[in-house]
Structures are given as C-alpha cells and as structure tokens.
Copies of this chain bind each other. A is one copy, B any other.
Amino acid sequence: MPPSDVLTIGALAGAAGVGVETVRFYERKGLIPEPPRSPSGYRQYEPATVERVRFIRRAQGLGFTLAEIAELLDLRIDEVAACAPVAAQARAKLEQVAGKIDELRRMQAALERLVEACEARQPTGECPILEALEGDDRSP
C-alpha cells in the first residue's frame, strides 16, 4: 500500500517551517528531488520530505552552505555508487563536523567562564570571549 497521504507544496512548507518559494528554490538547486505531479500539475510530496527540508535548515544554522548540504544529502551506497568514494566523502565531512564541535566547545567554555566571573562580581577585561580563547591556537 503506497502512502496516499501526499502533501501539497504549501502543506510541506508549513510543516517544515519555510515559505512555499523556498521549497521551489531548493528544488531548483537540487536539494530536494522533483516530486511527482497531480494531473493538474500540482507537486505531490511524500511526508518524509518534511524532514529533508528541516535538515537543510538545521545544517544551514551550523554553517554549512547549500552546496555542502547537497553533498551530505547525496551520501548513499547503492548499485551505482561505489563504496570507497562515499566513505571518503563521509570521513571528510566527519572531520569538518568534529572541527566545528571543537570550536563550539571552546566557545562554550569561554562563555561559562564569563558567567562565573559575573556571579563572582569580577569585572572582566576588554573582551573576555577572545581572552578565554587566546592561546587555544591549534593551527601553528
């Protein structure tokens, strides 16, 4: 039984929290596949597409470009895609992700120190965030 509960573009956009124009834009950019159409030409999305659009938005908030997000969404192994290049690509993305996590953690630590200083009523210097991050330079 194929799921008969398809979504119009408006329903998809509403469920994913974006505008209708944004969905059509993502389609043009190849971020979401062209869906089947109703006899009158309306796009018919499967519910899973909602998750895809939400993922795009979340990934953007993490500093990925639409091109990078397209690469992430294209990662799959099947008859046509050999394993090795996919794994290599995935490993490259893993590094990128790990790097971001690292930087965010250092930022987190800096902010925590700032809040603590605040509670201890210690005035901070010029720019505590930067001061806290200084010397963290792991790229000689």
Contact = CB atoms under 8 A, between A and B. Distances in A.
Nearest to A98: B108
Interface stretch (A5-13, A18-26, A34-42, A86-94): A86-94
A48, A61, A91, A107: most-surrounded residue (chain B CB, <10 A): A107
B77 A124 contact: yes
Count this chain's copies in the assembly: 2
- Chain A's interface size range is 35 or more
Given A79-B123, A94-B112, A97-B108, 7 more contacts: A48-B130, A61-B100, A62-B63, A75-B127, A76-B125, A97-B111, A101-B104
23 contacts: A52-B127, A58-B103, A59-B107, A61-B100, A62-B103, A62-B107, A73-B130, A75-B129, A76-B128, A77-B123, A78-B123, A78-B124, A86-B114, A87-B114, A87-B115, A90-B114, A93-B111, A94-B115, A97-B111, A100-B100, A101-B101, A101-B104, A101-B105
